[in-house]
Amino acid sequence: MQPPSRRTLLALGLLLLATACTGGHGGNGAAPGDRGTAPNPDEPVILRAVAATDTLLTGYDTLLATPAGAVDKDLAALRAEVVRHRAALAHDLPAASVPPAPGAAPATSGSASTAPGPTATPTATAVGTPAALAALERQTARTRLADLAAARPPLARILASIATSDVLHAVALGDNTPLVTPPPAPTAAPTGTPSGPAAPGDAEPSGSPSPAAPAATATTPAATAPPGAVAALQGALGAEHAAVYGYGVVGARLPDDQQRADARTAYAAHEARRDAWQRLVGSLGATPSAAAAGYQLPFAVTDAAAAGRLAAHLETRLTTVYADLVSAVPGPERTAAADALRECALRAHRWGAPDQAFPGIPDTPPGPSPSAPASASAPATAGSTG
């Protein structure tokens, strides 16, 4: 056997070097702490989100330490979802840069964590009732939504989804108070003026105001829209066309009671959201997509029970559309998309759909890694046009 040549040794050295540089953590191409690792521009936003989550976890630990909380299986299940939120947020950061999490949930021991973590605040440690914990969940949701414009698209999608889950947790804890959406973080001067007032995101079904229109006018140049934004908006518009059609079927199969009133409220909300997207698409220089003549339903709707299932199906499908839209539109428009995501998730909950830890993201994300959005142009009824 001939000894390796100098050229072969050099090639092997380069191969080993390349292998060392590509064996990383979190998909960033380098192990934590390696020299030359590019900093994550989302790190400040992620650390704020993790800190808010740790405060929330401490609130859960405080309530779980009470006699009533220690035996509340639903409370422990909600805390477990918050733990999953923290893991998804911190996934793409080196472990050394993430503060220690609060202690394990005391669901089985009945005692509070002895190490609430460095982010505990008087607000969290004072949580002694489900109502106080629900208020903390809503406060945490507002914190996440305030950072939407500062996050890159994949992280913004996860923030909007987790904020929606926070609000669903508050509802599960007995608080249906409308969430006041915070204004976006200061950015460059807007090109136009908002076309509608901000509306509470979860005041339905008791006659909430129409959803706010996205902040864009006919003066907004099409060049300000990032690649794919117009297509995603057209997809959301198409999904709202399908939802309006679907709710026409839902209302026709419900008795004249509170359910039909809820269906009428949802129908009006989807009409308003449809009109908002039409205006925004037109302001970006595109022709808004028209509604199809009809949509094929995912199953036969012959009675009130099937009508309720269809309503839940419509809203659940729309959460996916709007989670993807959050990551496709520029910062100022993300709030409207996140509001729509939250409204749809809340309506799905009211129609009996099971709550999800990551509403709008069917496959639980390991972290804010880029992923191809689902086709938003498909009808929300999961069928083909007829």
Q: List C-alpha distances in Å: 297 to 35, 82, 234.
A: 55, 35, 21
What's the pLDDT score for residue 118? 39
Q: Taking residues 167-195, report their average pLDDT.
A: 68
Reported as a pLDDT band with limits 50, 70 and 90, residue 184 is low
Give tens-digit pLDDT for 234-284.
999 999 999 999 999 999 999 989 999 999 999 999 999 999 999 999 999
**Tens digits of residue pLDDT in 57-89:** 999 999 999 988 887 889 999 999 999 999 999
- Measured from the Cβ of residue 361, the count of other Cβ atoms closer than 10 Å reads 22
Place 104 in a pLDDT band, splitting at 50, 70 and 90. Answer: very low
What is the C-alpha separation between 2 and 4, in angstroms, rounded? 6
How far apart (Å, rounded) are the C-alpha atoms in residues 268 and 292?
19
Q: Is the dihedral of CA 200, 202, 207, 211 positive or negative?
A: positive
The rounded percent of the chain whose pLDDT value lies above 70 is 67
Choose between 191 and 182: higher pLDDT.
Answer: 182
**With contact defined as beta carbons under 8 Å apart, do 57 and 83 qualify?**
yes
**pLDDT tens readout for residues 329-376:** 988 889 999 999 999 999 999 999 999 999 999 876 655 543 333 333
- Out of 13-22, 46-55, 253-262, which region has the weakest mean confidence (pLDDT)? 13-22
* The residue type at 73: K
* Cα 264 to Cα 68: distance, rounded to the nearest angstrom: 39
Q: What is the pLDDT of residue 193?
A: 31
Mean pLDDT, all residues of the chain = 77
Determine the pLDDT at residue 185.
52
Q: How confident is the model at residue 15 (pLDDT cuts 50, 70, 90)?
A: very low
* Torsion from C-alpha of 149, 181, 236, 279, nearest 10 degrees: -90
Contacts of 374 (CB under 8 A, 6+ apart): 320, 321, 324, 362
What is d(CA 86, CA 77) in angstroms, rounded to the nearest whole number? 15
pLDDT confidence of residue 92: 83
Going by pLDDT thresholds of 50, 70 and 90, the confidence category of residue 18 is very low
Confidence band for 125, pLDDT divided at 50, 70 and 90: low
Has residue 310 got a pLDDT over 50?
A: yes
Calculate mean pLDDT across residues 122-140. 84
Q: What is the pLDDT of residue 358?
A: 97
Q: In this predicted structure, what is the pLDDT of residue 362?
A: 83
Is the pLDDT at 305 greater than 60? The verdict is: yes
Of 122 and 169, the structure prediction assigns the larger pLDDT to 169
Mean pLDDT of 135-159: 96
Fold for the domain defined by 195-386: Ferritin (1.20.1260)
